[in-house]
């Protein structure tokens, strides 16, 4: 097997952190193009958003609106077939940032519109995305904007806007700012029988409000601008963006540089993403990765590395057991991250995911008794896209490759146990402890 | 007036993600071949009454015996925990998913408004008397629960909720699970945080949810906790792989030192395989059928889950907290028939469970807390009821302080949404249980908890 170069390992790291992992041969091809050029490609996606044909699940096309579980499968499929990995990954990151759950919204069509709002603005101006979120009907239901009226302003959206979406917890605002902002957000309506959303000026509080030191007859969209223009916003947002790509804290100086860049680009996130994705921290410790893949990334990445698509419904509940179902974040603060993903229960679910892809892959009698342990391991690594393995896992695999067929000489044993060795090697490569991190 | 939001919330509710996950988990059994060829070291961890009478050491001995046949370290954590506290109390959280109709569970027959508000749903015939009060009668399906009540083993608290109750399933259940009222970013559950205080660093069976995915009420910050869908078939399995060599390989690959995310990944796998070892004695197959129980459990999901809970609690794993949930309580329509079936299942399952843990010598240690995210609106909507407030909370077990233990506000005065007034905050129940039963200072688990307590435990 060809030796894997450092630049290829860097591309792999980049594709895991900024996308859903490499497809077969993708890292080798992109390594020739170079890392910086690849970052630029990721930042400026062109052409089709997804490749290949839409999958069929249990014999029929995905039906995200009408079939239970298919909404999550639909999102997973977008990730698996994406040809614009960073745009798609940022869509998932924004889903975490602007976390909205169908558990409360209860209308998958609205959630699909929410997806498209995130996807459309995933690599653009944060300000534009924020305004789109305020206008988004799923968000309006989720944070109780609809129905909030001047006699009883609901503070839910106002609070989360400042606390989670733009400034950060206890970062430069007061309870009074929340109450005043909530007044500005009154007037949104939803007519339940017709499912129509609207804005009723008679229910809107058009009085003077003071929010973050600015006084005026603020309307809903004014508050978005006021929050984004606040000096606390840029450092908060760029730090949050950084955290989606590496578990290491950024230096204060780098946060300042990112914030300056973000302001200069008038809240366009691409220049900041460029800084992050070219930062040495992303490529540190290539041989001992330490960032846990979110479940959606783990599953999509596994299918991508095998050139497979979403072909059955089990992924929906398996992602649930791993702790991440797209369209269903646990609360408005989004999902956990890094080490928080891993528990005995989620490890078992990730193991099960490995078993799911192993099923039916290596046929009985398909492996020769002449295959040496070394060749067996090489074949398994190649079949799985040759991902990074720690020295510990490599040693374990090598020992298993010897042990598993020792003394298996009868015909029936060869017919079964040599393929079995392949199954186990591949399972451990695809779903073992190393496969959970990138 | 019916709030359309609630109708929407409820249609949605029948197909919650968790319900779907539960259903799916059922559809993927572990095949029999995965169970073959395994060394086993005990038939079943459930202790008989005679075992228990030999002394409190019975459960510890079982673990010690197990330790000679499995990697010693694996069992030591649980055995040590168990040995330190062989009589440690075990709290079972039983969640009635959907919003149980407390008013038709413990029926306020003496309240003049009840019949008028409930109309065709009003219960009368067949309801069961309580020995110490004429204020309430039990739903006709709850004969067995009524017997437990008359034995002094059931504490009931009508009208438990929180101030300004939220009638969304999503919000309300999140508050109950986290123990934090109002929007919050809390990801841990109150029982998970209890384990952060009480638990060992290496025993994932100290807190168990009987489910495929972990019950959010058990999510902890640091203490390992586990979810077990079926303790009789908890194993790792790869299709068309007969040998157990993969098992050893996985364990070896989870053992090395690491930091950050890699450490988390290896630790999680190590804990998961530890659970496999611990649950070996509970395995069920042809040669090791499910051991009989003194009273047969109903053949229902709830019956099966409570039986699983009893088996795990009886096996000496040092289990302190168990979470079970059962669905279907969102009775917007056809309530008379549906609710009768649900409560019959609940009553029969609890009856069998109580007999089971008694035979296992656990009856003095186990308390079941039965809760729901809210009660239902006093005024019926036709054939069903909409989301309300002030739900019914019950504690079942030998140590429950049996009787009516909170104030019932009556139906003549309702809140602004025409719901039952809330007389008792659920966090008061939690803090009372933490301090009177679990031996944990409530403030360590529940942020900003006040000093109100109710005597709930004997």
Label the pairing between strands A209-211 and A188-191.
unpaired
pLDDT band at B1 (very low <50, low <70, confident <90, very high): very low
Question: Nearest-CA residue of chain A relative to B261?
Answer: A290
| Average pLDDT over all residues of chain A | 96
Residue of A nearest to B221 (CA): A340
CA dihedral A29, A35, A37, A40 (to 10 degrees): 110
Is residue B36 over pLDDT 80?
no
Question: Residue A305 falls within a domain, yes or no?
Answer: no
Residues A267 and A385 in one domain: no
Per-residue pLDDT band at B75 (split at 50, 70, 90): low
HEC profile of chain A: CCCCCHHHHHHHHHHHHCCCCCCCCHHHHHHHHCHHHHHHHHHCCCCCCECCCCCEECCEECCCCCCCCHHHHHHHHHHHCECCHHHHHHHHHHHHHCCCCHHHHCCHHHHHHHHHHHHHCCCCEHHHHHHHHHHCHHHHHHCCCCCCECCECCCHHHHHHHHHHHCCCCCCCCHHHHHHHHHHCCCEEEECCCCEEEECHHHCCCCCEEECCEEECCCHHHHHHHHHHCCCHHHHHHHHHHHCCCCCCCCHHHHHHHHHHHHHCCCECHHHHHHHHCCHHHHCCCCCCCCECCHHHHHHHHHHHCCCCCCCCHHHHHHHHHCCCCCCCCCCCCCCCHHHHCCHHHHHHHHHHHHHHHCCCCCCCCCCCCCCHHHHHHHHHHHCCCCCCCHHHHHHHHHHHHHCCCCCCCHHHHHHHHHHHHHHHHHHHHHCHHHHEC
pLDDT over 90 at A170, yes or no: no
Residue A43 Cα, gap to closest chain B Cα (Å): 27
Residues B219-244 pLDDT 10s: 999 899 988 989 998 889 999 999 88
Size of interface A-B (CB pairs under 8 A): 199
- Low-confidence winner among B29-33, B96-100, B371-375 (lowest mean pLDDT): B29-33
Q: CA nearest A320: which of B22, B301, B273, B221?
A: B22
Whether residue A235 sits in one domain with residue A99: yes
Residue A40 confidence (pLDDT): 98
Instruction: From chain B, pick out residues whose CB is under 8 angstroms from the CB of A427.
Output: 238, 241, 246
Interface confidence (ipTM) of the complex? 0.96
Mutation for B interface: A96, A348, A362, most B CBs within 10 A? A348
Q: How confident is the model at residue B76 (pLDDT cuts 50, 70, 90)?
A: low
Whether the pLDDT of residue A386 is over 50: the answer is yes
Q: What is the mean pLDDT of chain B?
A: 84
The pLDDT confidence band at residue A331, using thresholds 50, 70 and 90, is: confident
The partner residue sitting opposite B4, judged by closest CB among A192, A362, A428, is: A192
Residue B53 has pLDDT above 70, yes or no: no
Asked whether the predicted pLDDT for residue B80 surpasses 90, the reply is no
Test A345 with B226 for CB contact under 8 angstroms: yes
Compute the C-alpha angle A149/A154/A160, nearest 5°. Answer: 135
Domain count, chain A: 2
The pTM of the full predicted model, rounded to 2 decimals, is: 0.83
Using pLDDT thresholds of 50, 70 and 90, give the confidence band for residue A325: very high
Report the chain A residue with the minimal C-alpha distance to residue B167: A104
pLDDT in tens, B140-193: 999 999 999 999 999 999 999 999 998 888 889 999 999 999 878 788 999 999
Can you say whether the dihedral through the CA atoms of A232, A238, A241, A246 is positive or negative? negative
Do A132 and A33 share a structural domain?
A: yes
**Average pLDDT rounded to a whole number, residues B115-141:** 97
Chain A residues closer than 8 Å to B264 by CB:
292, 338-342
CB contact under 8 A, A292 and B236: no
CA of A45 vs chain B CAs: smallest distance (Å): 30
The predicted model gives A85-92 an average pLDDT of 98
A334: closest chain B residue by CA? B185
C-alpha distances (whole Å) from A73 to each of A108, A294, A312, A314 are: 13, 15, 9, 9
Domain residue ranges of chain B, discontinuous segments joined by +: 4-232+281-444
Contact B245 A416 (CB under 8 A): no
Contact between chains at A417 and B274 (C-beta distance less than 8 A): no
Could you read off the pLDDT of A180-225 as tens digits, one per residue? 999 999 999 999 889 899 999 999 999 999 999 999 999 999 999 9
Q: Note whether A259 and A117 are same-domain residues.
A: yes
Boundary (domain end) residue, out of A265, A283, A301? A283
* Residue A259 sits in the same domain as residue A116: yes
* pLDDT for the residue numbered A3: 75
User: Mutation test of the interface with chain A: which of B7, B239, B270, choosing the one with the most A Cβ atoms within 10 A?
Assistant: B239
Min mean pLDDT across A105-114, A135-144, A254-263, B198-207 is at B198-207
For residue B54, what pLDDT band results from cuts at 50, 70 and 90? very low
Mutate to test the interface with B, among A69, A137, A317 (most CBs of B within 10 A): A317
User: How sure is the predictor about B77, in pLDDT bands with cuts at 50, 70 and 90?
Assistant: low
Cβ–Cβ below 8 Å for A345 and B227: yes
Q: What percent of chain B has pLDDT over 90?
A: 71
Domain that holds residue A417: 373-436
Distance CA B430, CA B191 (A): 9
Asked if residue B7 has pLDDT above 90, the reply is: no
| Residue A300 falls inside a structural domain | no
Its CATH class, for the domain covering B4-232+281-444, is alpha beta
| Among candidate residues A248, A283, A318, the one where a domain is terminated | A283
Q: Grade residue B45 by pLDDT with cuts at 50, 70 and 90.
A: very low
pLDDT at A87 over 60: yes
Chain A residues within 8 A of B216 when measuring between CB atoms: 330
pLDDT computed for residue B65 by the predictor: 27
* Distance from the A281 Cα atom to the nearest Cα atom in chain B, whole angstroms: 14
- Average of per-residue pLDDT across A123-146: 97
Q: Most A CBs within 10 Å: which of B164, B178, B186, B269, as the mutation test of the A interface?
A: B269
Regarding whether A119 and A246 lie in a shared domain, the answer is yes
Domain boundary among A283, A312, A345: A283
User: How would residue A2 be classed by pLDDT, with cut points 50, 70 and 90?
Assistant: low
Per-residue pLDDT of B398-446, as tens digits, reads 999 999 999 999 999 999 989 999 999 999 999 999 999 999 999 999 9
Rounded CA separation B8/B130 (Å): 37
Task: Answer whether residue A44 is part of any domain.
Answer: yes
Q: Could you tell me if A105 and A238 lie in one domain?
A: yes
């Amino acid at each position: 097997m060809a030796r894997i170069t450092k630049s290829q390992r860097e591309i792999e790291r980049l594709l895991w952190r900024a996308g859903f992992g490499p497809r077969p041969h993708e890292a080798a091809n992109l390594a020739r193009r170079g890392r910086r050029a690849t970052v630029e490609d990721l930042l400026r996606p062109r052409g089709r958003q997804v490749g290949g044909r839409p999958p069929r699940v249990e014999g029929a096309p995905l039906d995200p609106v009408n079939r239970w579980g298919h909404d999550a499968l639909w999102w997973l499929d977008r990730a698996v077939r994406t040809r614009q990995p960073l745009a798609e990954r940022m869509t998932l990151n924004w889903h975490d940032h602007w976390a909205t759950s169908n558990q409360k919204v209860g209308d998958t069509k609205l959630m699909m519109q929410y997806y498209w709002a995130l996807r459309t603005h995933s690599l653009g101006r944060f300000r534009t995305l924020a305004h789109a979120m305020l206008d988004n009907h799923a968000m309006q239901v989720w944070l109780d904007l609809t129905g909030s009226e001047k006699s009883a302003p609901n503070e839910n959206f106002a609070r989360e806007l400042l606390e989670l979406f733009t400034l950060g917890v206890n970062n430069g605002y007061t309870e009074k700012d929340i109450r005043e902002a909530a007044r500005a957000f009154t007037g949104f309506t939803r007519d339940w029988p017709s499912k129509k959303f609207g804005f009723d000026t008679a229910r809107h509080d058009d009085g003077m409000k003071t929010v973050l030191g600015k006084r005026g007859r603020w309307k809903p969209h004014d508050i978005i601008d006021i929050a984004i223009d606040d000096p606390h916003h840029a450092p908060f947002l760029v730090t949050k963006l950084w955290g989606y790509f590496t578990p290491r804290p950024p230096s204060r100086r780098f946060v300042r540089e990112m914030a300056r860049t973000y302001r200069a680009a008038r809240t366009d996130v691409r220049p900041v993403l460029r800084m992050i994705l070219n930062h040495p921290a992303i490529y540190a410790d290539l041989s001992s990765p330490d960032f846990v893949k979110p479940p959606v990334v783990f599953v999509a990445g596994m299918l991508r590395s095998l050139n497979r698509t979403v072909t059955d419904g089990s992924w929906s509940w398996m992602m649930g057991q791993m702790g991440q179902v797209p369209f269903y974040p646990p609360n408005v603060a989004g999902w956990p991250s890094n080490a928080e993903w891993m528990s005995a229960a989620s490890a078992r679910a990730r193991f099960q995911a490995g078993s799911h892809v192993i099923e039916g892959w290596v046929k009985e009698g398909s492996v020769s008794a002449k295959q040496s342990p070394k060749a067996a391991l090489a074949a398994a690594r190649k079949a799985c896209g040759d991902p990074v393995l720690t020295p510990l896992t490599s040693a374990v695999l090598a020992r298993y490759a010897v042990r598993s067929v020792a003394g298996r000489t009868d015909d029936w044993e060869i017919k079964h146990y040599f393929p079995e060795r392949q199954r186990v090697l591949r399972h451990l490569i695809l779903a073992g402890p190393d496969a959970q991190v990138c | 007036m019916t709030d359309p939001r609630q109708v929407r919330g409820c249609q949605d509710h029948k197909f919650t993600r968790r319900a779907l996950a539960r259903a799916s988990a059922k559809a993927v059994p572990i095949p029999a071949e995965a169970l073959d060829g395994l060394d086993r070291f005990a038939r079943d961890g459930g202790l008989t009454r005679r075992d228990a009478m030999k002394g409190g050491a019975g459960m510890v001995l079982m673990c010690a015996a197990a330790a000679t046949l499995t990697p010693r370290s694996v069992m030591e954590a649980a055995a040590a925990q168990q040995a330190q506290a062989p009589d440690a109390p075990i709290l079972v959280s039983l969640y009635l998913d959907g919003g149980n109709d407390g008013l038709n569970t413990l029926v306020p027959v003496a309240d003049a408004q009840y019949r008028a508000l409930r109309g065709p749903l009003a219960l009368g015939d067949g309801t069961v008397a309580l020995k110490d009060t004429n204020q309430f009668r039990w739903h006709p399906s709850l004969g067995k629960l009524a017997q437990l009540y008359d034995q002094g083993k059931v504490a009931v608290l009508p009208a438990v909720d929180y101030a300004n109750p939220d009638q969304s399933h999503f919000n309300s259940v999140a508050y109950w699970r986290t123990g934090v009222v109002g929007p919050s970013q809390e990801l841990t559950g109150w029982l998970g945080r209890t384990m952060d205080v009480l638990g060992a660093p290496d025993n994932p069976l100290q807190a168990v949810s009987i489910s495929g995915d972990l019950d959010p009420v058990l999510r902890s910050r640091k203490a390992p906790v586990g979810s077990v869908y079926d303790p009789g078939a908890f194993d790792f399995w790869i299709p068309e792989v007969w040998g157990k060599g993969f098992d050893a390989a996985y364990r070896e690959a989870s053992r090395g030192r690491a930091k950050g995310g890699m450490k988390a990944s290896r630790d999680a796998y190590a804990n998961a395989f530890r659970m496999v070892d611990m649950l070996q004695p509970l395995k069920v197959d042809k040669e090791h059928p499910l051991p009989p129980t003194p009273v047969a459990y109903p053949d229902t999901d709830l019956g099966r889950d409570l039986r699983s809970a009893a088996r795990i609690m009886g096996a000496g794993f040092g289990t302190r907290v168990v979470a079970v949930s059962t669905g279907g309580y969102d009775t917007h329509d056809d309530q008379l028939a549906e609710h009768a079936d649900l409560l019959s299942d609940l009553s029969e399952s609890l009856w069998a469970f109580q007999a089971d843990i008694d035979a296992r010598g656990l009856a003095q240690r186990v308390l079941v807390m039965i809760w729901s995210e809210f009660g239902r609106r006093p005024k019926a909507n036709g054939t069903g009821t909409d989301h309300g407030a002030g739900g019914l909370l019950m504690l079942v077990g030998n140590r429950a302080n049996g009787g009516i233990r909170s104030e019932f506000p009556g139906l003549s005065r309702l809140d602004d949404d025409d719901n039952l007034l809330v007389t008792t905050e659920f966090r008061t129940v939690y803090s009372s249980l933490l301090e009177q039963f679990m031996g944990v200072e409530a403030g360590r688990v529940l942020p900003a908890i006040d000093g109100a307590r109710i005597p709930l435990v004997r």
